[in-house]
Amino acid sequence: MSSLNWTTDLLNQLVSENITAEQISLPSTTLWQIESIHWQHYAELAIQQNVRWVAGWAEHVQDRFFINACFEKQGIYVLLRTIVNVAKPELPSQATVYPAANRSERHTQDMFGINFIGHPDNRRWTRHKAWAKHNYPLRKDFPLQGEPEAITPPDIDYPFVKAYGAGVYEIPVGPVHAGIIEPGHFRFQAVGELILNLEERLGYVHKGIEKIAEGRTPESLARLAGRISGDTTVGHCWAACRAMEQAAGVEIPPRAALIRGILAERERVANHLGDMGGICNDVAFVFAQMQFTRLRELWLRTNATIFGHRLLMDRIVPGGVVCDLSEASCALIKEDIILLRKELSEIMPAIDLNSSLEDRLYTAGYLSPEIASAFGTLGYVGLASGQDKDVRRDAPYPPYDQATFKVALEDQGDIASRFWVRYKQINAALKLIAQFIERLVAGDILAEWQTPPPGSESLSMIEGWRGEITAYIRFDADNKIARFYPRDPSILNWPALEKLTLNNIVPDFPVCNKSLNGSYSGNDL
Amino acid sequence: MNWLIAILQTTLFVVLAPLLAGWVKWCKCYLQNRKAPSLLQPYRDLIKLTHKQPVVSEQASWLFVTAPYIIFSATVLAASVVPLIAVDLPTTASADVIVMVGFFAFARFFLALAGMDIGTAFGGMGSSREMTISSLAEPAMLMAIFTLTMTASTTNLSGAIAHVLNDGLVLRPSFVFALFALILVAIAETGRVPVDNPATHLELTMIHEAMILEYSGRHLALIEWASQLKLLLYGVLIANIFFPWGIAETFTAKALGYGLLAIMGKLALLAIFMAITETLVAKMRLFRVQEYLSFAYLLGLLGMLSHIILEASR
């Protein structure tokens, strides 16, 4: 019983087990509504078919909670929904089946007070000490400005996993680090230099994005989405805008789609250049870091010249883009590509032939394909461990629906693989930019906005530079946002770091972490 | 007069140490296509640190506060044993190379204790790594130095250097081995790439820096200065033992002046060599350091053997 579309198979199975799934069609996805008692069983059926868990979030609507989970296989996305009553907010956990759902369910538990029965780890996650235990910020009765105390008390009683035994010691690292990086806490248990266990504690940059999104206009939401994670401003902004456009039935002009493609690929190139330098810097190969930093800087300066912003923030707006490309700008972009290719062709062989660098990057930080698949890792982390996923190819959206490119894939699963996947992605991105410029048609760059009907909802998927970004939007009346949930790829990649550092030595952790480079801000929301 | 010059020479050591650190940084910046800070920047950093109020943890014992002074003094004493611009100084006659290694070990002992004193995970981790590395580096260093002292039949550095000078330019296989052994040890002991990275901000990869993470103000200045001094000391050892030409043998102003110029020139060259290697290689995995230092020991041993086989029977 296998047909081309996995959803038919799964539906048949659900019907044979007398589970009713109400089907509602949404733009680019289907919504299946099931009863809450079947929540976990659905996951069990889905995992048998190798369906991937994508995202999970909830919503407070009057006296009910909508609980959503998104699943994907072969580029076909299904949004699963169940409804529970506010008076008795509980349902079986999917995290027992999908480890990827673990932190997401803990987030929902902290933000809504929804109890996931049988959850393997129901410690608090996003809640630190900024709000009290029985306050749930995403419920509608929680004030928008929060309940700020003068000083948030230190979070000193979080029950970390303990390790006991002769010679076992703990290393707490962060949330404040010696370098200028985002805050996050890492708790190591080690014997000598060998890492026995690593536990992440994130949430230090929780900004309440989901709460402050409520009641915004589309323009204002796009600006907010561009600030979820500063390095992915194009990716998140595009995902949010695409979700809103789908919900409102707005079609963006072809020229705007091509410019969005150029923006996204330029963001990808800049970040990968920075990361490749960062990986080299973490093993004290400063020469390469300086070169990559220089190249990234030149690249960003071109961004500033052409698009008016180094990181391309707020260039994408609902209905299109705000920056048009002149003939001269196109020529400049082409020149930039030639220059970058030439520089990379000199630097990359020097890196490839350096045996001391090779010694550090190969076999270190190994992530097996099985674990990568179990956690649903995305982007370069997944691709380096043989997870062949790329939204641009699997569920193409304009302008990628007409583009030809190869998805970079490696199978060694080590730091070197994640390094070289980034390099391959840079090459693919440069080709894509060239293609988009060739295809650039004359025309408008901004479509007129239409107020969507109240309650219209949509889910969009965009391949950001870290991997698949998912954004969910539901509109209220009067063009206002009722619910916005952005899922950064980091949410699925962070747990993989806990696994890939096992059996490495403590001083190799920083480079392992850099090779994954999750966003703290994108994770904490 | 002799004592006056001995004091002058030790002062020179202390004063010139930041300059060498600045020069190494300058060379590295140049090789990395960066604009280098002024050569005087390390001096400015030290002055800045002495003006800052040291912040000391509530958990710190007397050891934490005293350690910087002990470390700095021990390193200065070690410097007084090493001929910088002139041989045949009274200090170098009263203490030999084993005393110098002892001063280093003394300073390291207190540095490691200070690292553990506060009780942070990083300090203890750094101390543990430092002791592991030094337990491997010290035998290698002694082996290299013994090769030299066997040729000169003295453990006195001044005497050994005078012996090399008197023999003129002779190619000794044992010296080639010992030179390479000493270079490898020097890189490990002064915490340079590829063993340690003095410029890193990654707490988990640090060795020397991990031990001194909690230090600030004048305490940090003293420790930084001591490690700059240690770098200079190793540089002078390599330069003056293996290439002693130019060092003053009489205490005339002219000879001393030439001696100063000669050592500065030699150190400048050595620093360039070091900057190039640091630019070319990545830091090695921590567990490779033992292989690296075993290799240094092996080189020292080969130097000793080749001395016995090829040179001693003359």
Of B35, B42, B37, B36, the C-alpha closest to B21 is B42
Nearest to A356 among B31, B204, B284 (CB): B284
Residue B246 is given by DSSP the state T
Q: How far is B199 from chain A (nearest CA, A)?
A: 9
Q: How far is B147 from chain A (nearest CA, A)?
A: 30
* Arithmetic mean of pLDDT, A507-522: 92
Q: Return the structure tokens found at A487.
A: 């899922």
pLDDT given at position A1: 44
Q: State the average pLDDT for chain B.
A: 91
Burial category of B235 from C-beta neighbours within 10 Å (exposed 0-12, middle 13-18, buried 19 and up):
buried
Number of Cβ within a 10 Å radius of residue B106 = 17
Q: What are phi and psi of A366, to 5 degrees?
A: -75, 130
Q: Does A447 touch chain B (CB under 8 A)?
A: no
* Arithmetic mean of pLDDT, B225-234: 95
ipTM of the complex: 0.88
Beta bridge partners of A80: A32, A69
**Cβ-defined contact of A172 to B204 (cutoff 8 Å):** no
pLDDT given at position A218: 93
Q: How far is A507 from chain B (nearest CA, A)?
A: 4
What is the interface size between A and B, counted as CB pairs within 8 Å?
A: 83
- At B132-161, the pLDDT tens digits run 999 999 999 999 988 888 888 888 888 888
CA distance B15 to B53: 23
Q: What percent of chain B has pLDDT over 70?
A: 99
Q: How far is A509 from chain B (nearest CA, A)?
A: 7
Instruction: Name chain B contacts of A293, Cβ cutoff 8 Å.
Output: none
- At B21-70, the pLDDT tens digits run 999 999 999 998 889 999 999 999 999 999 999 999 888 999 999 999 99
- At B62-96, the pLDDT tens digits run 999 999 999 999 999 999 988 888 887 787 777 88
Q: What are phi and psi of A153, to 5 degrees?
A: -65, 155
The helix (run of H) or strand (run of E) holding residue B77 is helix B62-81
Which parts of A306-438 are beta strand (E)? Answer: 316-317, 320-321
pLDDT given at position B313: 62
**Cβ-defined contact of B201 to A177 (cutoff 8 Å):** yes
Of B270, B10, B306, B314, the C-alpha closest to B146 is B306
* Arithmetic mean of pLDDT, A209-216: 92
pLDDT interval class at B167 (50, 70, 90): confident
Residue B40 is given by DSSP the state T
Higher pLDDT, A61 or A150: A61
Pairing of strands A185-191, A194-201: antiparallel
Q: State the average pLDDT for chain A.
A: 90
Instruction: Name chain B contacts of A294, Cβ cutoff 8 Å.
Output: 33
Residue B310 is given by DSSP the state I
Residue A147 is given by DSSP the state -
**Cβ-defined contact of B286 to A193 (cutoff 8 Å):** yes
User: What residues 340-369 of chain A have any CB closer than 8 A to a CB of chain B?
Assistant: 354, 356-357, 359-360, 364
Nearest to A172 among B121, B124, B285 (CB): B121
Report if pTM > 0.95: no
Position B1 pLDDT exceeds 90 = no
- At A347-402, the pLDDT tens digits run 999 898 889 999 999 999 999 999 999 999 999 999 999 999 999 999 999 899 88
In CATH, the architecture of A209-524 is Orthogonal Bundle (1.10)
Higher pLDDT, A276 or B155: A276
CATH topology for A6-117 is Beta Polymerase; domain 2 (3.30.460)
pLDDT interval class at B314 (50, 70, 90): low
Chain A, nearest residue to B123 by Cα: A171
Instruction: Name chain B contacts of A284, Cβ cutoff 8 Å.
Output: 193-194, 197, 199-200, 282-283
pLDDT given at position A4: 64
**Cβ-defined contact of B33 to A169 (cutoff 8 Å):** no
Of A202, A261, A209, A201, the C-alpha closest to A230 is A209
Cis bond upstream, residue A453 (ω within 30)? no
Q: Does A285 touch chain B (CB under 8 A)?
A: yes
CA distance B148 to B168: 15
Q: Return the structure tokens found at A146.
A: 């929060």
CA distance B164 to A165: 56
Q: Are B283 and A283 in contact (CB under 8 A)?
A: yes
Q: Are A89 and A36 in contact (CB under 8 A)?
A: no
- At A91-149, the pLDDT tens digits run 999 999 999 999 999 999 999 999 999 999 989 999 888 888 888 999 988 888 777 76
The boundaries of the domain holding residue B208 are 2-311
Residue span(s) of chain A under CATH 1.10.645.10 come to 209-524
Residue span(s) of chain A under CATH 3.30.460.80 come to 6-117
Q: How far is A356 from chain B (nearest CA, A)?
A: 5
* Arithmetic mean of pLDDT, B248-271: 91
Q: How far apart are the first and last CA of chain B?
A: 38
* Arithmetic mean of pLDDT, A267-284: 93
Nearest to A505 among B202, B280, B287 (CB): B287
**Cβ-defined contact of A177 to B28 (cutoff 8 Å):** no
CA distance A389 to A378: 7
* Arithmetic mean of pLDDT, A194-207: 91
Residue A505 is given by DSSP the state B
What's the alpha-carbon Rg for chain B, to the nearest Å? 19
What's the alpha-carbon Rg for chain A, to the nearest Å? 23
* Number of domains, chain B: 1
* Arithmetic mean of pLDDT, A237-246: 93
Position A298 pLDDT exceeds 90 = yes
**Cβ-defined contact of A283 to B283 (cutoff 8 Å):** yes
* Arithmetic mean of pLDDT, A59-67: 91
Q: Are A146 and A131 in contact (CB under 8 A)?
A: yes
| 3-state class percentages of chain B: helix first, strand second, coil last, to nearest 5 | 75, 0, 25
